[in-house]
Copies of this chain bind each other. A is one copy, B any other.
Amino acid sequence: MPNVLLTVAYDGTDYCGFQRQRPGQVSIQQRLEEALEHLLGKPVRVTGAGRTDAGVHAEGQAVGFRAGLVIPVDRLPYAINQHLPADIVITGARLVPDGFHPRFSARSKVYRYTLWREPFPSPFHRRYTWHRPEPLNTVDMAAAADCLVGRHDFAAFAASGRSVGDSDTVRTLWRCDIEEAGPRLIFRLEGDGFLYKMVRGIVGTLVEVGRGRWPPQMVAGILASRDRRKAGPSAPPHGLCLEAVRYPEEALSESAEQQAPSQQP
């Protein structure tokens, strides 16, 4: 059965998150599975690389499924999009090797968090940015962000309720950059994995540093404490976007040879 990897963009505003949850709540996963069932004529289960929360967006979510295809894989985005609402768009599709898994094969994920710094919120960007009009010291914020790069126990920044010191709260953060772009302040974090609400915890903490509540060097202490109560409040979900999921070339590359024959019956 062909193993297919989709690239999916969505506006998460009106969804309970990527993953199916309770009945009555609409998830991205549900809409994708409904669209695939319409297209392929049988139930299909999809797996996302990242479980984005309610209100969180994606430009490059990676979603896998296994199913017999009735059309060439490069036409699949156009065909699936016909069955999706306008706030979910498939932007790519490819065949991947049989052993490929959207989450376990991923090398890294890139999340972007955007602040809007103008005095007034923008009616056009309000769904995708967190309005923080006050002055922020971005030099201090960047210094604090640097403390977080590397392999660390990020329990201090994950959603409360996790047990402190649990070994599965160790992650590698490859980058945590802050970029000023006109009225936007953009955080870009790339890591081998992220704990629940970790990006929002980091951004909320860096904003406290920017406001002058804490000196930047204090963030190293917050990290070392592994205590969520020491860090700043979580930034709200609507400023967050899963920008990309990255895979090692080996994980993807066998596909052309393996799968192409089944595409040309």
A-side interface residues toward B, CB under 8 Å? 9-11, 57, 59, 77, 81, 86-91, 118-124, 126, 128
A122 and B120 CA atoms in complex are apart in Å by: 25
Determine which of B11, B89, B121 lies in contact with A120 in the assembled complex, contact meaning CB atoms within 8 Å.
B89
B124/A11 in contact, CB under 8 A: yes
**What are 16 contact pairs spanning A and B, CB under 8 A?**
A9-B122, A10-B123, A11-B123, A57-B124, A59-B124, A81-B120, A86-B121, A86-B126, A87-B123, A87-B126, A88-B123, A89-B121, A89-B122, A89-B123, A91-B118, A91-B119
A91 and B120 CA atoms in complex are apart in Å by: 6
> What residue of chain B has the Cβ atom nearest to residue A85's Cβ?
B123
CB-CB under 8 A from A57, the residues of chain B are 123-124
> What residue of chain B has the Cβ atom nearest to residue A126's Cβ?
B86
A59 and B183 CA atoms in complex are apart in Å by: 14
Q: State the Cβ distance, A151 to closest chain B Cβ, in Å.
A: 33
Q: State the Cβ distance, A192 to closest chain B Cβ, in Å.
A: 27
> What residue of chain B has the Cβ atom nearest to residue A86's Cβ?
B126
B123/A128 in contact, CB under 8 A: no
CB-CB under 8 A from A120, the residues of chain B are 9, 77, 81, 89-91
CB-CB under 8 A from A91, the residues of chain B are 118-120
A55 and B200 CA atoms in complex are apart in Å by: 33
> What residue of chain B has the Cβ atom nearest to residue A118's Cβ?
B91
A127 and B10 CA atoms in complex are apart in Å by: 13
Determine which of B77, B81, B90, B128 lies in contact with A124 in the assembled complex, contact meaning CB atoms within 8 Å.
B128
